[in-house]
């Protein structure tokens, strides 16, 4: 028998922080009939962008991440602001974080970052033909360095542990595995 959704007995919002809210749900297991508390981080959706230049280079960013206290290698991304569509947010984040733009944003789907305790989605977009459009416009909490890497090198960067951000790895999975025509147009053959 397949698992069923649990009945929510109560739901209480505890805290609202800049990027997360904390909600406590009390839910009853359909299997055991017992109630349990679940802590859920409420967040707006997020976006990731895979910008690829006409020279088949990926526009990547290096930035400090306080959660792990490390500098990471990633693709541009951020929060979908209220009133924005995921595509609008992808265009904005690409421009702000890198100074690059693209005429087209190709949706590659979404993932749930961690459905155990997060309620949001992370949308991925491919930005083919990305070009330098101007300077970066970073906010006060960003210190981003932009670099270009050949698209063909991305799988190796993931394998060797240079790219470790799970949502970035998921974004490249979407490109290389689920959209092989896009990946092969970008110079990466898939089987």
pLDDT at residue 38, as a whole number: 95
One digit per residue, the tens of pLDDT, for the chain of length 191 reads 677 777 888 887 777 777 889 999 999 999 999 999 999 999 999 999 999 999 999 999 999 998 888 999 999 999 999 999 999 999 999 999 999 999 999 999 999 999 999 999 999 999 999 999 999 998 888 889 999 999 999 999 999 999 999 999 999 999 998 876 665 665 544 43
Residues 128, 122, 170: CA angle, nearest 5 degrees: 70
Q: Rounded to two decimals, what is the model's pTM?
A: 0.87
CA 177 to chain centre: 17
Task: Outline where 79-147 has alpha helix (H).
Answer: 86-98
Which of 80, 47, 82, 77 is closest to 65 using CA atoms? 77
């Amino acid at each position: 028998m397949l698992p069923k959704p649990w009945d929510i007995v109560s739901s209480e919002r505890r805290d609202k922080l800049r990027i997360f809210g904390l909600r406590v749900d009390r839910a009853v297991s359909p299997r055991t009939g017992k109630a349990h508390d679940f802590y859920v981080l409420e967040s707006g959706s997020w976006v990731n962008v895979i910008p690829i230049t006409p020279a088949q280079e990926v526009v990547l960013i290096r930035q400090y991440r306080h959660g792990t206290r490390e500098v990471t290698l990633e693709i541009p991304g951020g929060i979908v602001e209220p009133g924005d569509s995921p595509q609008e947010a992808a265009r904005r984040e690409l421009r702000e974080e890198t100074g690059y733009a693209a005429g087209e944003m190709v949706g590659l789907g979404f993932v749930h970052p961690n459905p155990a305790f997060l309620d949001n989605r992370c949308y991925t977009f491919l930005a083919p033909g990305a070009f330098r459009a101007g300077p970066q416009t970073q906010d006060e909490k960003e210190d981003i360095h932009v670099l270009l890497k050949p698209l063909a090198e991305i799988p190796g960067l993931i394998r060797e542990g240079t790219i470790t951000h799970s949502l970035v790895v998921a974004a490249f999975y979407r490109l290389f595995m689920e959209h092989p025509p896009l990946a092969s147009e970008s110079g990466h053959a898939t089987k």
